[in-house]
Amino acid sequence: MSNINRQKIVDSVPQKGFFGHPKGLFTLFTTEFWERFSYYGMKAILVYYMYYEVSKGGLGLDESLALSIVSIYGSLVYMSGVIGGWLADRILGTAKAVFYGGILIMFGHIVLAIPGSTTMFFISMILIVLGTGLLKPNVSTIVGEIYSESDIRRDSGFTIFYMGINLGAFLAPLIVGTVGMNYNFHLGFGIAAVGMFLGLILFVLTKKKNLGLAGTTISNPLSPKEKKKTFTFIGLGVVIIAGLSAILIPMGLLTFGSFINIVTVLGILIPTTYFVVMYRSPKTTAVERSRVIAYIPLFIAAVMFWSIQEQGSTILASYADKRTQLDFAGIHISPAWFQSLNPLFIITLAPVFAWMWVKLGKRQPTIPQKFSFALMFAGLSFLVILLPVYFGGTGSLVNPLWLVLSYFIVVLGELLLSPVGLSATTKLAPAAFSAQTMSLWFLASAAAQALNAQIVKFYSPATEMIYFGVIGGASIALGILLFLLAPKIQSYMKGIL
């Protein structure tokens, strides 16, 4: 996308109308709100649905396996953003990708809402994975399009957009989690489907008036010859995968364990390949290559951060269910409610951070420095969990306020890394890879959760001290190293602040 085209898109969007931001931010805010409501509502009860006994409405899977599958599922959700970003850049455009992604997500939740077998469960996972891959990176890319590159409202706008994500994520565990845990898992999944439907309706009704040309351009379209070749390869790939699955699964060679290992390898291999392709592409200019180099340490830092943050829905979810005192202050706490803590703190603190960045202006920490502080907070959030284990041992239930404190600390890091990372990605992305670079940002979470699928196997009440201590300490050490390297990384950004 050329600078001229980018400015034309900005000019087509009403620039005032949503808290002093472009009017299109309202459309993207509400769309992401309902998509995240459906996703986090489902995720709040997913691990429990998997390892609860069949008599309690669950699938009755082994708990360790369930934790790994949830991590792999999360990894695949973000890994599929590669497909969604490529389709947006080369075939669909970002707005159509968002719409079709929402439809797939909605049908995925509908399938989950129908009582069935493990087969139905995996069909729903495939639909949600593909749908989120289309929607998630591309809706964030459109946010970047409605601002000019020099607009000082940009970081603030992404922070407000991030509030939309977390408003949905906050309400979902309270509503879907309560219904799913207290009444019926499938009814909870049905509520998630309704949420995505509402998001689609709002997107369709408001996008033309509020978004203008944003999301309508295809930044690097396929030629007719390339389309024919691409669709041939896709068709052959689907046939080969289906054929191998039909042979290997009955033979016992493709199991849950081997599939988890495959995804772990892909979680590292795919982003590595992406960096190489973008750096070596003739469509990437010299300045853009320098920015790609600067993006690499930020990506590694994001992997470390998300590895800790995403364990809030696996290890800490199990911790809430089995290691936490759930009768507290005269209230019986549902373990799913703890999933609302992260977005609750973000909703509370995001306006403070948004105001702070605008107030500080050019005096605010650089992007690499913000990432380094985020890693330190993430590590501290795990070290906090060591304290109740150290004082009370592994045999007694833990006061729920320790979990509350852990979620609070990691949120401080998240607000330093996630909205800033979204904004930095739109600024550092090579023009020919705009949507795909946003997909690469989400691959940091994919890589983190792919690693988590292996890491969570080492967790047990007996290993809590070592588990939380080693991971937390590693994050703090990496944060300190990144802070020391921050000036050098900033120099490679070539003027991007």
Cα–Cα distance measured from residue 94 to residue 429, given in angstroms and rounded to the nearest whole number: 15
Which stretches of the chain score pLDDT less than 50?
A: 1-2, 4
Cα–Cα distance measured from residue 197 to residue 316, given in angstroms and rounded to the nearest whole number: 30
Q: 269 and 407 in contact (C-beta within 8 Å)?
A: no
Query: Which residues have CB under 8 Å from 98's CB, separation 6+?
Result: 31, 134, 135, 138, 139, 142, 203, 215
Instruction: Tell me the per-residue pLDDT of 66-91, one tens digit each, with 9 for 90 and over.
Output: 888 889 888 888 888 778 888 888 88
**Domains in the chain, CATH or no CATH each:** 3-220+252-491 (1.20.1250.20)
Task: Give the model's pLDDT for residue 406.
Answer: 94
Cα–Cα distance measured from residue 48 to residue 60, given in angstroms and rounded to the nearest whole number: 9
Task: Give the model's pLDDT for residue 394.
Answer: 66
Cα–Cα distance measured from residue 93 to residue 87, given in angstroms and rounded to the nearest whole number: 7
Q: 49 and 176 in contact (C-beta within 8 Å)?
A: no
